[in-house]
Structure 1
Amino acid sequence: MSDPQRVLVVGGSSGIGAACVQALAQAGAEVVSADLRPPAADAPIAASATADVRDADAVDAAVDELAAGRPITGLVYAAGIGHVAPFHRITPQRWRLVLDVNLTGAFHAARATIRHMPRGGALVLISSIDSAAPVSGLAHYCASKAGVEALSRSLALELAPRGIRSNVVAPGPVRTPLMNEVFADPVKEDAFLRRVPLGTIADPEQIAAAVTFLLSPAAGHITGVRLAVDGGMSLREHPSMLTINEG
């Protein structure tokens, strides 16, 4: 019997990342995690490391530690940060923070991991449907996620000769800590629900299911794609985050 997949989830301590840890473990993978925060005590994680994704040296060290003794066959980049502000009020510091965590962190994680990834490996980067359509109040977030998707396509092209795949999962609204404050207000939640054709907000487990598929042998001929998991929301206009916040 062959060894199970060994999948690194960056940002695996909460939200979509934590759901990916659970889903991948249930699918039989050996899961390791890197995050600023420790994983939950009951998380099905074989090993974990602490790393700030903005720090290339810290990410390199964490990945080298987690890959010791066994190659990493899969990477999920689920670390992310969001912030709502009109464009003219986005400070250079806030711009750098959002880009550094969402985009540069993905670069650091992919760069560190592919050194330990054999033929047949796969990467899944978490993006957002906001990458493809402008959202008032999220200029820096939209730019960072568009960059993640461009990075994934480049990885898919360059790593294909090595038999390594790279894809993106682009969620719509999801019930995660990042969105808890928004969905705690029924008016704000309704603004999203009215724009999702399926009429529901996704749970993190639904995103994790798509990630697990893209890492599996069933997706072995899929690379360079962007899989939207949004209940059809990308078919409609995104609500303005500025209007929602003012409401």
Structure 2
Amino acid sequence: MNTSKQYPAEKSVIVTGANSGMGRATALRFAAEGWHVIAIDVAPSTHDADENITPAVADISNEMVLSAAVGRVLEGKPRLAAVVNAAGVFPTSSLDSYDADLYRRIFDINVLGTLNVARVGAKHIGPDNGGTMVFFASVDAFAVSRNQLLYSASKAAVVSITRSLAIELAESRITVNAIAPGWVDTEGTRKGGRIEAAISGIPLKRAASVEEIAGWAWKLACEPSYITGETVCIAGGIFMR
């Protein structure tokens, strides 16, 4: 008797940072659209009730652990066709406050993690099937904020990685793009009243919802497109100021 789970989805997607905020919203959007979602996070899953989501615990800064986790959960599942790297950290830093440990934490997750997710994803997408990658950068890659010295630099690196990999993976028919959110209404940005203080400086006078950001990740990953190597700012006009 075959007791293996049958997935109605024809394609799988990796979504990292899938337990909260924009990553969670993105995982739920893909699942709602009928994709099989590999939901990766460093903590145990919050998606156990969704039949279209297979959780996996992995630290994206450790390629060996990430590769093993993805290989394990992809076995017997629909082919991997898309990768969305939403995982990231944004502790404050300045010239006075940063240290080597903080530098390594931010760059290991935001930059090395992006590279690891891309390499693991590209191996499973393969050189012939084609696919898409979407990385999460930030408006801070273009319009820097006070006390975000290392975070801004790490997200500028993600923008550069996006361009480089778009060229490198074009022969495999993999498009690579990024989104650069501005202020988004998440648990993290609500802490300490940060988001309320920022809204007055946003031309549209509101923060984005996590669902709006997830919609753009979905659009870049799933709609047929001639776009690759680009970073889309989703920031309510704040980048122009």
Report the TM-score, using the length of structure 1 for normalisation: 0.88
> 1:145-177, CA deviations, whole angstroms, 9 ceiling, x for partnerless residues?
011111111111111111111000110011123
Matches of 1:99 and 1:16, distance apart in 2: 20
Amino acid in the other structure paired with 1:60:
S
2:219 maps to 1:213: yes
Matches of 2:171 and 2:107, distance apart in 1: 29
Structure 2, unaligned stretches of length 5 or more? 1-7
TM-superposed CA distance for 1:135, in Å, is 1.7
2:141 maps to 1:136: no
Query: 8 Å contact 2:163–2:229 — kept in the other structure?
Result: yes
Amino acid in the other structure paired with 1:147:
A
1:50-89 aligned within 5 A: 50-69=57-76, 70-89=78-97
Partner SS for 1:223: coil
CA distance 1:180–1:44, shift in 2 (3 Å): farther
Match of 1:36 in 2: 42
Match of 1:101 among 88, 95, 109: 109
Deviates more, 1:58-67 or 1:143-152: 58-67
> 1:4-33, CA deviations, whole angstroms, 9 ceiling, x for partnerless residues?
321110111111000001111122211111
Match of 1:20 in 2: 26
CA distance 1:37–1:44, shift in 2 (3 Å): farther
TM-superposed CA distance for 1:178, in Å, is 2.5
Match of 2:199 in 1: 193
Matches of 1:86 and 1:130, distance apart in 2: 14
Matches of 1:181 and 1:164, distance apart in 2: 37
Matches of 1:102 and 1:211, distance apart in 2: 17
Matches of 2:31 and 2:137, distance apart in 1: 22
Query: 8 Å contact 1:21–1:44 — kept in the other structure?
Result: no
Match of 1:49 in 2: 56
In angstroms, what is the RMSD of aligned CA positions?
Answer: 1.6
TM-superposed CA distance for 1:87, in Å, is 1.7
Matches of 2:235 and 2:73, distance apart in 1: 32
Match of 2:234 among 229, 233, 239: 229
TM-superposed CA distance for 1:45, in Å, is 4.2
Matches of 2:197 and 2:40, distance apart in 1: 34
Report the TM-score, using the length of structure 2 for normalisation: 0.90
Matches of 2:114 and 2:26, distance apart in 1: 16
2:129 maps to 1:122: no
Matches of 2:52 and 2:90, distance apart in 1: 26
CA distance 1:17–1:45, shift in 2 (3 Å): farther
Amino acid in the other structure paired with 2:122:
I
TM-superposed CA distance for 1:62, in Å, is 1.2
1:113-192 aligned within 5 A: 113-118=121-126, 119-182=129-192, 185=193, 188-192=194-198
Query: 8 Å contact 2:93–2:150 — kept in the other structure?
Result: no
Matches of 2:202 and 2:236, distance apart in 1: 6
Instruction: Report the identity percentage.
Output: 30
Query: 8 Å contact 1:86–1:137 — kept in the other structure?
Result: yes
CA distance 1:32–1:223, shift in 2 (3 Å): same
Matches of 1:177 and 1:110, distance apart in 2: 27
CA distance 1:219–1:128, shift in 2 (3 Å): farther
Give aligned pairs, total: 230
